[in-house]
């Protein structure tokens, strides 16, 4: 979390502020402003995920939190996109099938970052994106109810 804008090098030096906001004016924000933006953003991502998963409201809180956090971090397009041939399977598709054991285990498989058109494994600390791996592991744990 940063009250002042910074260039997110993992996102191709995308200007970012607060908890990962990219579509706002890049200026200094107060903690209260950042929390308000996060709340609004999460509500929007929750609505987007809800539209793609029949029966979303009947899921466990952990399954919902994991899906919303993943969509917030990767974007709704990445959440909803069908997997390309070289991609891991789609988490959203597993949710739609209500195959939650598989869905939960897919979160760590998406601990990836695309660089130069190739997937980089963020579970390898030397690749410089280990925070993505730890985030996916937290999503997995939430999904499993741990």
pLDDT digits (tens, 9 = 90+) for 113-146: 888 888 899 999 999 999 999 999 999 999 999 9
Give the chain's domain count. 1
- CB within 8 A of 53, min separation 6: which ones? 59, 67, 92, 95, 96
CATH number for 39: 1.10.530.40
What integer is the mean pLDDT of 46-57? 96
Asked if 113 contacts 120 with a C-beta cutoff of 8 angstroms, the reply is yes
Say what the pLDDT of residue 114 is.
83
Mean pLDDT of 19-27: 91
The answer to whether 52 and 81 are in contact (CB under 8 A) is: no
φ/ψ (deg, to 5) at 31: -60, -40
DSSP for residue 29:
-
For residue 83, the model assigns a pLDDT of 61
What mean pLDDT, rounded, does the chain reach? 92
In 3-state terms, what secondary structure has residue 120? strand
pLDDT tens by residue, 52-107: 999 999 999 999 999 999 999 999 988 987 666 667 788 999 999 999 999 999 99
**Rounded Cα gap, residues 74 and 125, in angstroms:** 20
Structural domain harbouring 46: 2-144
What per-residue confidence (pLDDT) applies to 119? 87
């Amino acid at each position: 979390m940063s009250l002042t804008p910074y260039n997110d090098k993992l996102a191709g030096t995308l200007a970012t502020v607060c908890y990962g906001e990219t579509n706002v004016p890049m200026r200094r924000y107060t903690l209260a402003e950042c929390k308000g933006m996060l709340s609004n953003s999460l509500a929007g991502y929750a609505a987007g995920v809800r539209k793609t998963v029949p029966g979303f409201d009947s899921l466990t809180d952990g399954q919902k939190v994991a899906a919303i956090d993943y969509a917030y971090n990767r974007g709704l397009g990445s959440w909803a996109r069908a997997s390309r041939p070289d991609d891991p399977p789609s988490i959203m598709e597993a949710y739609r099938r209500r195959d939650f054991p598989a869905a939960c285990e897919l979160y760590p498989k998406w601990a990836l970052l695309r660089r130069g058109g190739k997937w980089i494994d963020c579970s390898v600390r030397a690749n410089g994106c280990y925070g993505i791996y730890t985030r996916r592991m937290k999503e997995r744990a939430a999904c499993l109810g741990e």
